[in-house]
Structure 1
């Protein structure tokens, strides 16, 4: 099982909380989060309780300030431990909602969606196998969106406020 430590201050200072499983509301354990140490496993962190808001994908390592995990602020209010997955990866993306328009099937990472298929917007997606991260900008930058196996008829189903996706990659365990 994984383990993650949340610290209120930068450089692993101040009040901290140790976590080893999913938590839908971390608000009572710390006021803000300015640094994180991941001792095991892969994690998705959320800006708001109940797995809402900006999402951040972290793996084993040290993150001395929130910019190191591409955070927009010092708010982490829920977290999810990612299960170990060692199978195949398969995903279909669509240029329009409800699985309409041009479809492409992927089995591996894509650092730049525009260079790969000449459009930025992904309106719907079907994840058949594996866990994936969408990024708003190319080269795995910008807002992040975690997708596990399932159907995503519209971009807001994965938590996005727009269909713009600049890159995506498979979530695999980085122990």
Structure 2
């Protein structure tokens, strides 16, 4: 994946981090609730937002789907945001006002497909998913997933049913154990495709 160095310029009173080729996809971070205080616009992946703001209490997503991270270098709690206004951190299910890195999720227009397994290293019962699943328990009688293979599209895995709890971004690739997607345990409640229209 190509990472473009951000460039700074002032726009509408906000400092901006814009990648020259992707300025139409944008997220704006505000230090205070209700879109108040200093704001920073970003249009590309940023592994370390710490130099640009100390806290984040509201966010406006003008376009695209984004995964936000509590710590630098895409670590810590993850938060999936799509186009919309988030006037306080509870609106994106945040635990606090700490956002230290962000990743733009590439738009996918084809089909979505993922295989989930009940054991590590793609062993045990396998189930294939091609659409959103609000409850793995109801559909597959599973509450844990120990490995998975994302074949097409990006997904968000939620720890609890109905798209609640901790969130994890799953991009195409193999995840041989739950640690590979950043989880502390194998608990999975729901899965959702990353699409820019909900």
TM-score (norm 2): 0.86
Q: Contact between 1:42 and 1:174, CA under 8 Å: does it hold in 2?
A: no
Measured in 2, the distance between the counterparts of 1:99 and 1:87 equals 25
Aligned pairs (5 A) from 1:102-121? 102-121=125-144
Q: What is the aligned-residue RMSD (CA, Å)?
A: 1.0
Runs of 4+ in 1 over 3 A off after TM superposition: none
- Number of residue equivalences: 175
Quote the Cα distance in structure 1 between the aligned partners of 2:103 and 2:25: 10
Give the 3-state SS of the residue equivalent to 2:118 in structure 1. strand
* 2:90 maps to 1:67: yes
Whether 1:97 and 2:108 are equivalent positions in the alignment is no
Q: Structure with the greater relative contact order (CA < 8 A, sep ≥ 6): 1 or 2?
A: 1
* SS of residue paired to 1:85: coil
Unaligned 5+ segments in structure 1 are none
Cα deviations across residues 135-157 of structure 1 (Å, max 9, x unaligned)? Answer: 00000000000001000000010
Partners of 1:128 and 1:56 in 2: how far apart? 22
Q: Any stretches of 5+ residues in structure 2 without a counterpart?
A: 1-23
Rg larger in 1 or in 2?
A: 2
Distance 2:139 2:38 in 1: 45
**2:182 corresponds to 1:159:** yes
Would you say the 8 A contact 2:83–2:196 is kept in 1? no
The answer for the alignment partner of 2:57 in structure 1 is: 34
In structure 2, C-alpha distance between the alignment counterparts of 1:117 and 1:42, rounded to whole Å: 28
Q: What is aligned with 1:76?
A: 99
